[in-house]
Structure 1
Amino acid sequence: MTDTGGMVLSAPMAGWAMPLADVPDAVFAQGMMGSGVAIDPVDGVLHAPCDATVTSIHAARHAVALTTDDGAELLLHIGIDSVAMGGEGFEALVAPATRVAAGTPLIRFDLDLLARRASATATPVLVVGEGFVATPIATGRIVAIGEPLLSITRVADTAAPAPSANGNAGRWESLTVALPHGLHARPAARIAAAVRGRDAVVTLVCGDRRASALSMTGLLGIGAVHGAHVSIEAQGADADAVTAAIVDILTATSEPDSAPPPPPARPRIAVAELEPGVIAGVGAVPGVAIGTVRWLRAAEIVAPPGSGNSAAERDALARGLDRLRAELEGGHGVMAAHRAMLEDPDLLMAFDTAVADGRGAAEAALSVTRAQAAALAANSDPRLAERADDLRDIGQRLASAILGTTPEAFTVCGDEILLADDLLPSQLAALVGMPAGIAIVRGGPTSHVAIMAAARGIPMVVALGQAVADLTDGATLIVDGDAGTVHLAPDDAALTRARTRIATSAEAIRVAREGADGRPATTSDGHEIAVCVNLGDAIEAAAAIADGAEGCGLLRTELLFLDRPTPPTRDEQAATYRAIATAMAGRPLTIRLLDIGGDKPAPYLAIPAEENPALGLRGIRVALAHPDVLEAQVAAILDAADAGPVKIMVPMVASLAEVMAVRAVVDRLRGDRQVSIGAMVETPAAAIAADLIAQACDFLSIGTNDLTQYALAMDRGNAAVAGGIDGLHPAVLRLIAATCEGAARHKVPVGVCGGMAADPLAAPILIGLGVVSLSVPPARVVATRALVAGLSHAAARAHAATAQTLTSAAEVRALARAFAQGNAA
């Protein structure tokens, strides 16, 4: 065959481009229909891949045939076995004989319906007929609409010779099409295969339309539906045999190839091996930092033995408590939490008992907090396990206050990486200077220290293990909070790559901050994604608004309830909520109802100890079990509605009944005050039943941390399995997709307020799955707005569709890194 010129077809839809061999149908996979590629789509419109004329549209509207200006015949076939849908969910946007330009919408289709009803959504894009051959340009990756997809080359004339004159005058046959779905792609391919290479010229006639048996596009365009009358006209020595074969195909009452095909071949993403010198940990705060090691090795406090005078030791303990309370007075965030924990009557009683047993005051402070911290660290409820560091920290600070010592100031520079075996909140708060990044031998990604680092925008990697224990001060490190790695002794190439990433990110953040003028964050192709902030108090609100936060997607209220002998009053709560609503300056404030539970987190609730608190009385179950507490909080939130728009978010929902119970309380108390009600999707039950729960909600918000641990049956507080917990696991992504799909049936928006919202590798996938708002820590607002601005929504949908087909979180992260690098290029 001789090349005589060619042209390029562009992708008619966004999605994963695959070789025809991967299509789960032998007719397409074996090239019986023609050459080309297939696309697994992520949106519901098929576009023209080039300038062409519409030859025909199948009666089921799932396939369209085109003829290019060069005479090449094209077939675009949406889905596999989609003809069985009978046209449901398909809308033809053009008519036969219409002249179309590249990019013209041809068919609109319901992708969700196609996914449920067809055996596969793979859409072959084919060159059919004689005289042209197609060569794939893009396969095994995501393509966007209009991206080069196929190269079509004209080949030398290979037309079959005229039928021989051997006395055979020809054959004529009439029949009624018995195929259940009429003449569509699969039987058309078998008819063409029966004729190709035989000594016969065959034409099929249906009404006033005629087509050569060798023309795929022609056969699909004659309208030979089930029950139609078709005539076969054949000439040549093989006319009888070919006609008989065609009759058998068209009069069959079932299709031998219509049985459900095997699952489509999924794209395999190679999980790259770590480079030499790269150590894997767990990313706690996104971002990249370069610096030299600066070890923080805090000296252990040595408490003197008891004096034997219990009264004197009690006095020393009381003075130490007063001194520490004064130090913490007026603090917010973690420091306010520590101040509240010092009022825990159980903790104070334990101190007093230890002193009565002969321990010194400082020794009692250390021994009691260490013992309670060890018990909390072993708790299956991650919220409680994460408080272990706080208790150790309180013990250290209280012992120092009792002994009258002041921890030596620790100075760190902006070009240094802070390295520690573990890091306490007070140690981070007391630093003089700000490090470029933080690397921790132990620790967890959801600890208070991680939250504090995120608020300061310091890239952080935790759980690195002993691989970094032998590093010395002055060694160069790259901390990659996005990938969860540190690079030891990086070479010049690695340093250059890291500096480029840092500079690119800084420029994107600068542009985003300049554009933080109240406008919503918008993708490069015009889709609005709300970027909100997670708050703990009013102090953080002003800075977040200046950075462009469009509202608060999560206000945690637990600190008002924990570590105190009585619940906060309605007025006390209302004052707190009103102050934050005022600070939000008219932007919506989403207040999560009390979300505690487990091993006696609040003495006044008298929740019994449970063998598995994570599956016990927690979240909204606690509030519903204590209606007085629920009503007081709801009333306080409603009282704050005069300061700005507020929303009520119900935590740990597992059923519609729970939301309805809360809504009944709100409706009874609201009067003429307006408030939206939403549910947190943190359980697989809520994700799968999102279409049911959404009936009673104005919005849904996904808590990805808990959703991940429940979906994977891995406790975030258990070091033995914590390394396997990753929200980018395909199972978690599918639950998020199910949530978005279920909520969409009731036009209920879905946001994410969990850790994945702030993960730059996860956020594009979340947006592609249908999430319309991301609520992130204050320090991530600008960076997230920048990420959204640099993202194509169409590309994100294609990316998310591919991510769901992979087999592990590691594969998804590899794909996400490649996607991020492609966006940055």
Structure 2
Amino acid sequence: MVLKAPFTGYLLPITEVPDPVFSQKMVGDGISIDPVTNCLLAPCSGEVSQLHSANHAVTIATPDGIEVMIHIGLETVMLKGEGFKPLVKKGDKVNMGDALIEFDMDIVASKAASLLTQIVITNSDQVAKFQYAEGPVEASRDTVLTLHLGEYTESTTEASSEIVTTESFAIPNPSGLHARPAAVLSSLAKKYKSAVHLHKGDQQANAKSVVAIMGLDVGHNEEVYLSASGEDAEAALAEVKNAMLDGLGEKGAEPVKKKRVPHGVKPHPETSDDPNLLCGVSASPGLAHGFIVQKKQQQFDVPETGEAPAIERQMLQTAIEHSKQQLLALQHKMAADGDAENAKIFEAHCELLDDPDLLDIANDAIDQNKSAAFAWQDAVNTHVKVLSSLSNDLMAQRANDLRDVGRRVLGCLLGEEESHMELPENAILVAEDLTPSDTANLDRSKVIGLCTVLGGTSSHAAIIARSLDVPYVAGLNEHLLEVANNTPAILDGGKGELRLNPDQATIDDAIARKKAIAKKRQADLAAANNPAVTVDGHRIEVAANIGNEQEAVEAVKMGGEGVGLLRSEFLYLDRTTEPSEEDQLAIYSNIANTLGKNRPLIIRTLDVGGDKPLPYLRLPDEENPFLGQRGIRIGLAYPDILRTQIRAILKAANGCKMRIMFPMIANLDELRQAKAIIREEQEKLNVGSIEIGIMVEVPVTAVMAEQFAREVDFFSIGTNDLTQYTLAMDRGHPELAAKIDSLHPGILRLIKQTVEGAHQHGKWVGVCGAVASDPQAVPLLVGLGVDELSVSVPCIPEIKAQIRELKLANCQQLAEKALNLESAAEVRKINLEK
């Protein structure tokens, strides 16, 4: 049997492929080709027996019973179909030379580990001898493999053998059982004489067949179980199951946790002695006094069977397009109301509707005579289940976004527009969860507060609630859903509490507090442009942390004296290509113009890696990415990206108080390399010098502040990272988050060391971490000698007003006392004597 070249390219022995799954022939024997054309052609005639959902691999079953798998690139499953266009589907008959898959070489080459494509015979035991071609080949003309077929007898087990099974368990592999883990699983199963099968629902596959395993399309966190029959069945199941629970050797696979507390949402409290007090987490601050209104989820009656598949497909496409128009209308509404940044949430919702995996699952169900509504609902539920289980909380929150768009399309398919509630005045809306659409469509004249059982501080609903200044408490006990409508209540968004049936004294106190808070806020805002000078004449600069152009506008309105931290990542995230120099120049210039010539703008260079990956910059998997390639290390590893950003900053700095700040600097050599790049680009552009600073985010930088101060113009302390690295606690860990407090005496000592080292050389120090916006921390930071506080935009008036009431001498005494305490809790208990 002869296999022809599926691409024009250059052949490589499969043993030289830089992936042990292929090089060790765990999938099967075959050959590799480095392609120069972008359309995969059939190397032989047969039937398409398997097309992976990521569209990067296809298997052809020949009339002789040979299974030929063609796997485009290495680690291309991670692209989830991006850049691939299948031209066939499972069950299609193909002839040698027929087009199977087209792919975008630029996208795949930039995001995958390699373009090397493997032609593998997955049932190699049916081949008596392989003959491999060498060198350059032309698609469909040159032979790549000649197979001498031998007799094959499938191993059998005695009919009377008892079948043993495992309990069901979840798959920990991030991309499910794609080629690599499937090959490892198959290799393990083949060690045993017993027949071993993998089960997913009512489907099963021979665990000794890579193609059969991949054909089950088992995704991350999906439940499976194993069965086996034969003399060594129990031993086979024990080894195979343990290997699967460990991820079959794949990096990034983590055991699936049965129970997980999302970050920002504490576990529901036990029933307290006071049944009228429900405690959750603050998702949006504020105080509201009103009446409970339960918002029940609209239920749909979804028919399972439909009309002809072509009709149902068209119905689904029409509903999706109609839903997109609704989302665009919502986006424009929010933008017109002055919230252009959060309006982009609905732009992201439109992108969810274009997810190829979602459509593939729905279309597959339609092909099985399911209705479009049933197929769509099943596809959405499948994806929601996966997203909800992820340990990355932002991704888990996206499950709620998918539910939102899913219900929108479902309503369009069934002709049921979203029902609108008749709300009373002063409504405190209660729900199991709230979608972004729910929050964006609030009747602000009637809804004064929000409460949910699910959700958290990072959800899109919480973000929108904060932008609308609506109090919101999430993570409340499920008893919340049993509270009767019209029950009087007081919602304290800042404390994360809901008090039911308050007495008159409590109501009066809440009303008085609300008036006092509003009065103070108005007074702070009225004086927002006044400088932050202590009672005894010590000036502190109060700047803003921003992440987009709109926040620069708001910072000026709020009295910000500049931008102490522009998180430039917003230019790089949520896009498929690197922003150009021109794109960056335009945005930096716009922000500088918004601030004016007298307000400084500090631009932190790209800070990704760890918890902030870039979709188009394929970084290697790391066991601990927070201690690996992130911050300036990424810039130095990919100097073209760093140089492009530096050129844009240098060009935009003309006539402005613009400064460059490097993130995650841990040693002088890194800093000097980065500074050298600035000097080189300055010479090329023939522009003047620019002030250079660094983030103090790791303990060693604080300890060596005096040495660093000789090399830079300023420091900005990133207390969030400095705290997690000093205390050796992941600030995203749900069980440790409460213990991570930047007012720990050890952190305060590092801040003091930084200030002393900087001031020794006449350099100034700012704090841009979250602690700068904490009123309890401000007196301590002032007392430690910090020169600038860069805070979240809404906090600017409050922090400036607080500083104007302080005395430097008292702050210094307080700081000295705090340095000698034993815990952050003790620090927070001490009071400042004004």
TM-score using structure 1 length: 0.57
Match of 1:333 among 341, 349, 352: 341
Whether 1:626 and 2:634 are equivalent positions in the alignment is no
SS in structure 2 of the partner of residue 516 of structure 1: coil
1:651 to 2:663 alignment: yes
Q: 1:700 aligns with which of 712, 715, 719?
A: 715
Q: Secondary structure at the match of 2:355?
A: helix
Select which of 644, 650, 653 maps to 1:638. Answer: 650
Alignment partner of 1:560 out of 548, 567, 571 = 571
Given candidates 736, 746, 749, the residue that maps to 1:721 is 736
CA distance change for structure 1 residues 705 and 281 in 2, over 3 Å: closer, same or farther?
Answer: farther
Q: 1:548 aligns with which of 547, 555, 559?
A: 559
Q: Residue 629 of structure 2 aligns to a residue in which SS?
A: coil
Residue 325 of structure 2: aligned partner: 323
Distance 1:575 1:411 in 2: 46
The structure-2 alpha-carbon separation of the partners of 1:790 and 1:662, relative to structure 1 and needing over 3 Å to count, comes to same
Cα 1:495–1:623 shift into 2, 3 Å: farther
Task: Give how far 1:536 is off.
Answer: 3.2
Tell me the CA shift for residue 356 of structure 1: 3.9
Q: Output the amino acid matched with 1:335.
A: A
RMSD value, Cα: 4.1
User: Quick one: which of 358, 366, 370 aligns to 2:365?
Assistant: 358
Which amino acid is 2:356 matched to?
A: M
- Asked if the contact 1:552–1:590 (Cα under 8 Å) also holds between the matched residues in 2, the reply is yes
Question: Which has the higher Rg, Structure 1 or Structure 2?
Answer: 1
Instruction: Answer yes or no: is 1:669 the counterpart of 2:681.
Output: yes
The CA deviation at 1:470 is: 4.6
1:522 aligns with 2:533: yes
Going from structure 1 to structure 2, the CA distance change for 1:673 and 1:612 (only over 3 Å counts) comes to: same
With over 3 angstroms needed to count, the CA separation of the structure-2 counterparts of 1:755 and 1:672, relative to structure 1, is same
Taking the aligned partners of 1:365 and 1:693, their CA distance within structure 2 comes to 57
Q: Secondary structure at the match of 2:616?
A: helix
Output the amino acid matched with 1:524.
Answer: V
Q: Secondary structure at the match of 1:761?
A: coil
Find the residue that maps to 1:511 and give its secondary structure.
helix
Cα drift, residue 279 of structure 1 = 5.5
Within 5 A, what are the aligned runs for 1:124-143? none
Q: Give the Cα–Cα distance (whole angstroms) in 1 for the partners of residues 698 and 393 of structure 2.
A: 15
Task: Output the CA distance in 2 between the equivalents of 1:372 and 1:734.
Answer: 47
SS of the counterpart of 1:618? Answer: coil
Q: Which letter does structure 1 place at the counterpart of 2:314?
A: A
Task: Determine the structure 2 residue equivalent to 1:755.
Answer: 770
SS in 2 for 1:604: coil
Whether 1:509 aligns to 2:521 is yes
1:633 to partner: Cα distance: 1.9
Specify the code of the residue in structure 2 equivalent to 1:319.
Answer: E
Residues 496 and 718 from structure 1, CA distance in 2 versus in 1: closer, same or farther, beyond 3 angstroms? same
The answer for the alignment partner of 1:312 in structure 2 is 314
**Is the alpha carbon distance of 1:521 and 1:673 closer, same or farther for their aligned partners in structure 2, counting shifts above 3 Å?**
same
Q: Is the 8 A contact 2:341 2:550 kept in 1?
A: no
Q: 2:151 matched to which residue of 1?
A: none
Match of 1:44 in 2: none
| 1:83-122 superposed matches below 5 A | none
Q: Distance in 2 between matches of 1:300 and 1:663?
A: 60
- Which residue of the partner structure matches residue 546 of structure 2? 535
Query: Residues 232-631 of structure 1 correspond to what in structure 2 (within 5 A)?
Result: 281-285=280-284, 288-299=287-298, 307=306, 308-309=309-310, 311-312=313-314, 315-316=317-318, 319=321, 322-323=324-325, 326-327=328-329, 331=335, 332-336=340-344, 339=347, 343=351, 348-358=355-365, 390=401, 393=404, 395=406, 407-408=418-419, 415-433=426-444, 436-466=448-478, 468=480, 470-480=482-492, 482-491=494-503, 494-517=506-529, 519-586=530-597, 587-598=599-610, 601-631=613-643
Structure 2 unaligned regions, length at least 5: 1-271
Q: How far has the Cα of 1:433 moved from its partner?
A: 0.5
Q: 2:716 is paired with a residue of what secondary structure?
A: strand
The code of the aligned residue for 1:781 comes to: I
Aligned letter for 2:670? Answer: E
Equivalent in 756, 763, 785 of residue 770 of structure 1 = 785
- Give how far 1:294 is off: 4.3
Q: Do structure 1's residue 783 and structure 2's residue 798 form an aligned pair?
A: yes
The structure-2 alpha-carbon separation of the partners of 1:734 and 1:462, relative to structure 1 and needing over 3 Å to count, comes to farther
Alpha-carbon distance change, 680 to 783 in structure 1, aligned in 2, over 3 angstroms: same
Provide closer, same or farther for how the CA distance between residues 401 and 651 of structure 1 changes in structure 2, counting only shifts above 3 A: farther
What CA deviation, in whole Å up to 9, does each residue of 1:733-783 have, x standing for no partner?
444444434433333333333333333333333333333333333332222
Question: For residue 607 of structure 1, what is the amino acid of its counterpart?
Answer: L
How much identity, in percent, do the aligned residues show? Answer: 39
Matching of residues 172-187 of structure 1 within 5 Å: none
Q: Matched residues in 2 for 1:426 and 1:280: separation?
A: 25
* Aligned amino acid, residue 754 of structure 1: G
2:760 alignment counterpart = 745
How far did residue 439 of structure 1 move?
4.5
- Evaluate the alpha carbon distance shift between residue 373 and residue 808 of structure 1 in structure 2; reply closer, same or farther with a 3 A threshold: farther
Separation in 2, partners of 1:301, 1:673? 65
Q: Which amino acid aligns with 2:637?
A: A
Give the drift of 1:436.
4.7
- Secondary structure of the structure 1 residue equivalent to 2:695: strand
Q: Is the CA contact 2:542–2:796 (under 8 Å) kept in the aligned structure 1?
A: yes
**C-alpha deviation, 1:805, in angstroms:** 4.0
Q: 1:695 to 1:403 in 2, by over 3 A?
A: farther
Measured in 2, the distance between the counterparts of 1:426 and 1:373 equals 17
CA distance in 2 between partners of 1:361 and 1:683 (Å) = 53
- Give the deviation of 1:343 after TM superposition: 4.9
In the alignment of these two chains, the number of paired residues is: 544
The 8 Å contact of residues 294 and 474 in structure 1, kept in 2 or not, is answered as: yes
The answer to whether the 8 A contact 1:714-1:721 is kept is yes
Residues 453-502 of structure 1: CA deviation (Å, up to 9, x unaligned): 44444455444445755544444545455555555555555555544544
Separation in 1, partners of 2:377, 2:701: 42
Per-residue Cα deviation, 1:399-441 (whole angstroms, up to 9, x for no partner):
6677676544568789554544444444332222075555554
Report 1 or 2 for greater relative contact order, CA contacts < 8 Å, sequence distance ≥ 6: 1
Task: Please give the residue correspondences for 1:7-22 in structure 2 after superposition, counting only pairs within 5 Å.
Answer: none
Q: Distance in 2 between matches of 1:507 and 1:624?
A: 50
| Alpha carbons of structure 1 residues 457 and 607: separation in structure 2 relative to 1, 3 Å | same
Structure 1 residues 635 and 524, CA, compared in 2 at 3 Å: closer, same or farther?
A: same
Change (3 A) 1:761 1:497: farther
Question: Would you say the 8 A contact 1:532–1:781 is kept in 2?
Answer: yes
Alignment-mate amino acid for residue 359 of structure 2? D
- Structure 1 position 672, deviation (Å): 1.9
Q: Kindly tell me: are residues 367 and 513 of structure 1, through their superposed partners in 2, closer, same or farther at Cα, counting changes over 3 Å?
A: same
Residues 380, 717 of structure 1: 8 Å contact kept: no
| Equivalent AA in structure 1 for residue 528 of structure 2 | A
Name the SS of the counterpart of 1:774 in structure 2: strand
Change (3 A) 1:734 1:486: farther
Normalising by the residue count of structure 2, what TM-score does the alignment of the two structures yield?
0.56
| Contact 1:296/1:419, CA 8 A, preserved across alignment | yes
* Alpha carbons 2:528, 2:796 under 8 Å: kept: no
Give, in whole Å, the separation in 2 of the partners of 1:404 and 1:662.
Answer: 59
Displacement, 1:568?
Answer: 1.6
Cα displacement (A) at 1:605: 0.7
Q: Distance in 2 between matches of 1:471 and 1:602?
A: 44
Rounded to whole Å, the distance in 2 between the matches of 1:717 and 1:591 is 25
